[in-house]
Amino acid sequence: MAVKEKVGKVISNKMNKTIIVAVENRISHLRYNKIVVKTKKYKVHDENNDCNIGDIVKIIETRPLSKTKRWKLIDKLNDNTISITT
């Protein structure tokens, strides 16, 4: 069985050890041949609560961890935190 990996953007980190990641999928409409962007949200296990909203992350499919959580955080690709310098 092939391992499923996806790259997406963190849209929520309010739950303990869980983040919600939005993954965009661009497909061509069968009749009109227009590119359509479909977004799907996944609940992802974040063991150390590392991620913030706006981070780009890589996730991998794993065994069921809860009723709706079947993905695990692998890597933070882009840290999108804002730093203010004075």
Report how many domains make up the chain: 1
User: Would you say residue 83 lies in a domain?
Assistant: no
Mean pLDDT by 10 residues, the chain (86 residues): 90 96 97 97 96 96 96 89 54
Give the CATH number of the domain where residue 72 resides.
Answer: 2.40.50.140
User: Would you say residue 86 lies in a domain?
Assistant: no
| pTM for the model | 0.84
Q: How many CB atoms lie within 10 A of CB 60?
A: 14
At 49-70, the pLDDT tens digits run: 999 999 999 999 999 999 999 9
Residue 3 has what pLDDT?
86
Copy the structure tokens of residue 66. Answer: 């809860």
Residue 68 amino acid letter: T
In order of 8, 18, 24, 36, 66, the CA distances from 81 in angstroms are 16, 18, 21, 29, 29
**Residue ranges of the alpha helices (H) in 1-86?**
none
CA dist., res. 83 & res. 77, Å (int): 18
Domain with 38, as residue range(s), is 5-78
User: Would you say residue 9 lies in a domain?
Assistant: yes
